[in-house]
Structure 1
């Protein structure tokens, strides 16, 4: 039994089984396990806020990849997007598991990642761990449970983390949680949910509970992007702007990731 299982059994008693995802050094994450959103005509999941998301289909060579260095997935946010002739967007990253987990097959599910934020960067970026399933793309209806780390607040005297939950809806219920955390250090994030609700944990400490819980199967997803001024004013900041040539880049590192579950 590993440390994650011990923690989960303390918080939510049960016989937890954990699937760890190994990150092996190389030019990209294991694409038999992880995928990234790609562009579709009339529907573009590979664009968030004002950020295009790297993927091997739309971008050629290393630009579209999420490399692994020292056993850590490197999710990069760059001010330069080579596919944008108008230079109005940034280039970020997202990886999500191909497999999904949920309450249709399991009594309890937990997503975990240990992450490291690049604190020496402008305000205006979002690094996230979340569970996700798009239910209706035309109406943007989704099941989703989020941890969103906002660079605006990484160096604030009272650091904050945003938690959010969507229940078959295009609108979530967000809470800004003040935490005791030095963002330059590794952070362990857990999302635990069952039929009785959701818990969000930072370094083993519960920061939020909800009695509501999505019912569909969801992927483990991580991303690094920049919101627009009109889309999410709490996270947006004008300090972070696109450039018309290769320039600044920052990395959100994922040191480990796992999904745990209790069978029905």
Structure 2
């Protein structure tokens, strides 16, 4: 159960799907009313109109409260964390269910931190002895619920960068070894009249062909993995196709360098020395 005041739903941008919001007339002298979340409405009255229904909120420390009349249905929201499922929520007017602990929600058009300071000044002017604690912007509030996911994302990103570096080193090593193993073949080609540029071009083309085959498999896998992350991690938006394409271009550049340097060195070798070597 959440005790709220008039204008709560509009301030936090929670749509009212049916019925009305609370007003200043919903006080202790008026009829007891309530707003239910869409999920709670479906759970209590599946397929029926919840407006006008009566609901009782049990009190574990005393007598049950009198029945309240449902006057509105609010959209489902995530309450404590962006990663949790929307809970079953019952909203009651604060003027009909007083609680000394209160949270003030303020919508600002400018800097949120400046609005927090302005609200604290107003509260201090109203009552200098009334403390203002745990003041946060909505962005800070949401970020506080995602620290585990953010920490995991940092570590995953670090391991991703390390994996790219290791892949680049491994790619260079494999390309250099392949060129070295074909040194006699390249020497024969050079002795038969092949130009150094052609030798270098053939080696680079073969390396790019292998890299292209890997990217044909890797890019769809990366796009699929990104879609899974966006669907399962709250707040994850991803970078669309830019990130996989950037990684593909990086690996192609690494392949080009990894193949070109050994091939250029092999094409400049003396064919006679290479043919006489073991």
TM-score, with normalisation over the residues of structure 1? 0.20
| Bigger helix share | 2
Larger Rg over CA atoms = 2
| Bigger strand share | 1
